[in-house]
Structures are given as C-alpha cells and as structure tokens.
Structure 1
Amino acid sequence: MSERLKGFRVAILATDLFEESELLEPRKALDEAGATTVLIAPHPGEIQAVKHDKPTVKVKVDQTLADADPDKFDALLLPGGEKNADSLRKEPLAQDFARRIDQTRRPVAFICHGGWLLVSARLVKGRHLTSYQTIQEDFRNAGAFWKDNEVVLDGNWVSSRQPSDIPRFNQEMLSLFMDCLARSRKIA
C-alpha cells in the first residue's frame, strides 16, 4: 500500500442502488494510495450495489448524512448508478454537503450519474464536465459545458462517463487529490 494520500480523507456519498464498480473500484484505488475513505449514506446499515440494475453486494455505511460534517473531509467522491444518483439529488443534506465541499475548492470526483447531485445543488453552471450520455441535457440546461470525453478536468473537479472509463478516472482522481494534498502541505 502506498502512502501518497496518507492523512487525506475522502467522503463517498451514495445510497441504495449505486453502480458497484463506480464506488468499489475508485474506493480501492484511494485506499491503496493511503487515503481514508468514509462511505456516507442517508441511512445507517448497508447500501445495495447493482451492476446494470441487477443487485449484487451490500456495502457497510460508515456514517449517516445527518452525522457527517463536510469540514472533516478533504474531497468528495460521487459514484453513479441512476437510482442512487436520483435519490441523492433530492436529499437537501447531500446538496448542502456538496456545496460546502465545493465552496472551499476541495476536489470533487464524480462518474456516470453521480454528478446529478451537483445539478440539484446548483453547482454546475459554467463548469466543464462529462457524465453518462443520457443525462447530458440536464447538465447543459443547468449551464454546464458537457463533453463526450473519457475524463474531464475542470479546476477542482474530475468527471467521467461510465464504468469502462474507471481506470483513467481513477488515475486522474488520484492525481487531482495528490495535487490538493501537496498544496495544503505547502500552506501548512
């Protein structure tokens, strides 16, 4: 295990019916880089993963959204899964959490439908990003510049389209998070 992200805390916001690979693979990459990942959901217990809408594994929730303090985290990861993202975007606490992370320019990484929360939180206007292609109009209508690229970087954001993009997404996410950590250590 690497120590490149030692001391770096990443909040992962998700709920039932998240796309398994879009949470587990980035989380594994972060854990292997030495980051501390905390799975935050609207309810305690476990949340159900899916693979193309078919139930797979359940994953233990580390903290509820009501108990989570965005100021205790260095970055935010939003995995996809249409039903997961559609549920989270309606949660005022999730919207507030995302706003507080973004207002302080901490990194935000999202894949597939995960960015829907950022539309509902009114954070996407003027941002360059990507997502699953079927929701591109939601981003455009909210004022974002949507691109059909494997990965799009825009300041403190990194976004990706779908599970096949995960290797590149993980690489760019880790790079963004390491840059953020390096900057914070220079300031301290």
Structure 2
Amino acid sequence: MTDQLLAGKNIAILVANGFEELEMTEPQRALLKAGAKPKIISPEQGLVNGWHGAAWGHYFPTDRHVGDVLAADFDLLVLPGGDRSVAKLASNPHTRRIIGSFMDAGKGVAAFGRGVELLAVADRVKTRAVTGPESVKAALEAAGATWSEDAIVVDRFLVTAQSNEEMAEIIETMIRTFVAAGEQRKQAA
C-alpha cells in the first residue's frame, strides 16, 4: 500500500474507557502511515483506558472531548469496539449527533466489532449492508440494516467488520474506502 494516501485528512477515532485496544491502535497506526491525522475523541477527560484481552490495557491521551466535536471538523470516522466503550458511547447524546452527521454527509466511516452497534444508536443504517458480531445483529436489523455474514462489508463509504481477527485486511479495506470517499468529496466540491 502506498504511503500518504490520506495525507492531511483529519480522522476522528471515537472511544470511551474499555474500548478494544487492538481495534483502535492498529487502524490508528495505519492511518498515521497513510499520512492522516487521527485524533482520539472521547467523553473521558485527558486519558482513555483501553481493554486488551481479558483485562484493562493502556491509557491513551484524548485529543478532544466528544461534546466539543463537530463532524465538520473531520474528514473520516473510526468506531472501535469494546463492550464498556460501546455501552458508554451509546448512552452519550453526542455519539448519535456525531455519527449521524458523518453518515448524512457521506463521509467515510469504519466500525469494528461491537463498534458497529453504534451505527444503530445513530439511527443511520436503514437499507445499509453491515456486518458485525452476532451479538449486535438484532439491534442493527431493528434499525433497518441489511445483515451480512461476510467478515468485512463495504456499503458506499461505510466499512463494517465482524471482529479484529483479519485486521490487516480490514485496515486495507478501510484505507481504500477512505481514499475513495475523499476523492468523491473532492469531485463534488
């Protein structure tokens, strides 16, 4: 994959305490390598704590508070999973606003594992093809999504993935989709 494909793009990574660490750090690393500027957005102040395996993981500095963020500030959005993180974000009114704004604007969004559930919270998945862990299937179908059993699904500029087991392929798909989203937005301008 060529470096700097996303040069200068501002990427929001939306997480709360208990996010699945691998689903944040691997995409973050790839986005940095592609020239993007990923920023950690969180309801937590200062530091957010990841979840790694069966225990708490590392702390990461937050860049912006979720209440101070607008989708217009960013080009793309990443939604890592993690039970605790998704539960906290799902109960935060800013989550719906931010995700909804990204989806309404046709910006690239990538959701991994339980993070896919946040798309149902934002109520922006009607008629969209998605995948994720079996535990979120009912919520997404109830929100009007079309469920797929594929490991990775791309619907326009929305990338969803069941788990982090195929992270290299997920990241490659995410980068390719984010580049395409940027090209379309450039042509539309």
TM-score by length of 2: 0.94
SS in 1 for 2:114: coil
CA distance in 2, matches of 1:177, 1:4: 9
2: distance between equivalents of 1:155 and 1:4? 19
The answer to whether the Cα contact below 8 Å between 1:3 and 1:33 also exists between their aligned partners in 2 is yes
Change (3 A) 1:128 1:187: closer
Alpha-carbon displacement from aligned partner over 1:123-165 (angstroms, at most 9, x marks no partner): 1121101111222111112221111211000012000011102
* Alignment check: 8 A CA contact 1:9 1:73 kept: yes
1:7 is the counterpart of 2:8 = yes
Shift of 1:76: 0.7
Residue identity opposite 2:62 in structure 1: V
Cα drift, residue 52 of structure 1: 3.2
Structure 2 residue aligned with 1:17:
18
- Cα separation, 1, equivalents of 2:41 and 2:136: 24
Partners in 1 of 2:66 and 2:141 — Cα distance? 28
Q: How does 1:9-158 map to 2 (within 5 A)?
A: 9-158=10-159
Separation in structure 1 between the aligned mates of residue 108 and residue 4 of structure 2, nearest angstrom: 19
Letter in 1 for 2:38: T
CA distance 1:88–1:53, shift in 2 (3 Å): farther
Q: Post-superposition shift, 1:184?
A: 3.2
Q: Which runs of 5+ in 1 are unaligned?
A: none
- 1:101-143 Cα shifts (integer Å, max 9, x gaps): 1111001100001022211111112110111122211111222
> Shift of residue 187 of structure 1?
4.4
C-alpha contact 1:133 1:148 (8 A) present in aligned 2: no
Per the alignment, residue 167 of structure 1 pairs with: 168
User: Counterpart amino acid of 1:56?
Assistant: G
**Aligned letter for 1:110?**
A
Say which SS state the counterpart of residue 185 (structure 2) adopts: helix
Could you say what the CA RMSD is over the residues aligned between the two structures, in angstroms? 1.4
Aligned length: 188
Q: Secondary structure at the match of 2:56?
A: strand
Kept in 1: contact 2:17–2:44 (CA 8 A): no
1:98 corresponds to which letter in structure 2? I
SS class of match (1:3): coil
Q: TM-score, normalised by structure 1?
A: 0.95
> Runs of 4 or more off by more than 4 Å in structure 1?
none
Identity among equivalent positions (%) equals: 27
- One-letter code aligned to 1:72: D
Say which SS state the counterpart of residue 5 (structure 1) adopts.
coil
